[in-house]
Structure 1
C-alpha cells in the first residue's frame, strides 16, 4: 500500500472515530426532528451488518471503495472490519479505540472522545438532550426513506454534516462531509438488529511485532 492509499484508508476508518461526510441536499426542518430521530435510535441495543464504503473528493471523484462487516453494541462498543481491497480493523471497547493496519504492521491507540460532536456513534445512546444541545437536526423524505441531517452547533468538530437514512425503522445508510469537502458514503446490508453479539468482538489483542502508536488527546 502506498502513502496515498494509506492516508485515504485511515480517513475512511475515521467514521468510527467521528469523521463522517455527506452528499448535500436541501432538507426541510421538522420541529420535532430530534425527538423523532431519538425514537428511532432508542430501541437499538446492537447492530451487525455488511457495509460498502465509498470516499469521494470535493469534485466528486471516487478516491476509494471498500467493503466488510461491522458490529456495534450499546453503549460505545464497535468493531469495523475492512475485508477488501485491503484489510483493516477498528475496535472500540468503550474506553480506547484501536486501529490496526496489517500492511503497515501498525496499531494506533487513542482514548474514546466522549464529545458527541466528535463521535457520532454516541448518538446511539438515544439522548434527546445530546441531540438538541449538540446538533441542529433536520428531516426530509428521500426516495421513500426518512433522512435526518445533523449539523454540529459547535465549531470544534471533525465533520460538518452527518446524514442518517432509515428504511422503515432500520438505519441503512450514512452520508458525511468534512471541512475539506471530502465525502464518505456507507451503505449497510444484511442487517441484524438487537441480536446477541459475543463480547469478544469488542476486545482487541495487539499482535506481536507491530508498532504501537498511542495518540493522546
Structure 2
C-alpha cells in the first residue's frame, strides 16, 4: 500500500474496529459471573429518599463465594452483618443483639446479593447493556419476579473490575454502592460463610 492516504485510512478503520469490539457492561457482567468464583471488596453505600432530600451513608466490606454464599459486614455508622450460607440468610444487628434468619430462596430473590453472588442471572433478571458513562460500563438488571421490593438495578464495571451498583426499591428509595479494593478469586477458609450466633442474641426465624 504505497498511497499514504490509503495507509492512514486503513489504520483508522483498524482502530475503529478495535473500538467497536470493546466489551460492554453486559459482557463484563457475564465474564464476572463466569470467571470470578470468589471475591471481596470494600464498599460505601448511599441511600437517598425518593425526593433526594435525605441521604444516609454507610460503609463496610463484601465477600462472596458462588453460588449464594456472601457476607455484607457494615461497620459505619452502625454494625450489622448479613450472611448467606447457601441455605439461609442471617441478619445480625449488633446494637439490638438480635438475629433474624430466612430461607435462602425466600430472602435472596432478585436482590443485589443474587446479582453479585448468584450463579444463574438469566433466571432472576432481564439484562440489558447500557451506554458507558463516566468511564464505567453499565448493565441494567430488571427483576423477573416483580414482588415490589426492588424495581431495578444497574451494575457497573471499570474494564473487568466491579465498580458500582445502583438500585431503586419499591418505595422509590435509591441506593448507590461504590466498590474499592476489589479482589478476584481470593481463597477463603472453609467456614467463612458459616454464621455463628453471638452470645446472648435473640433469634427471630421468618
State whether TM-score is above 0.5: yes
For 1:130, the equivalent position in structure 2 comes to 123
Contact 1:33–1:139, Cα closer than 8 Å, also in 2:
yes
Contact 1:34–1:128, Cα closer than 8 Å, also in 2:
no
Segments of 5+ residues of structure 2 without an aligned counterpart are 1-23
For 1:159, the equivalent position in structure 2 comes to 150
For 2:198, the equivalent position in structure 1 comes to 207
Q: What TM-score do the two structures reach when normalised by structure 1?
A: 0.75
For 1:86, the equivalent position in structure 2 comes to 78
CA distance in 2, matches of 1:81, 1:146: 26
Matched residue SS, 2:192: helix
Higher-Rg structure is: 2
CA distance in 1, matches of 2:119, 2:69: 15
Segments of 5+ residues of structure 1 without an aligned counterpart are 1-31
For 1:198, the equivalent position in structure 2 comes to 189
CA distance in 2, matches of 1:109, 1:115: 9
Query: Cα RMSD (Å) of the superposition?
Result: 2.3
- Is residue 60 of structure 2 the alignment partner of residue 60 of structure 1? no
Specify whether residues 204 and 161 from structure 1 end up closer, same or farther in structure 2 by C-alpha distance, changes over 3 A only: same
Aligned length: 182
Alpha-carbon displacement from aligned partner over 1:21-56 (angstroms, at most 9, x marks no partner): xxxxxxxxxxx9756632342111111111111110
> Residue 37 of structure 1 is aligned with which of 25, 29, 37?
29
Q: What TM-score do the two structures reach when normalised by structure 2?
A: 0.79
- Is residue 66 of structure 2 the alignment partner of residue 74 of structure 1? yes
Matched residue SS, 1:39: helix
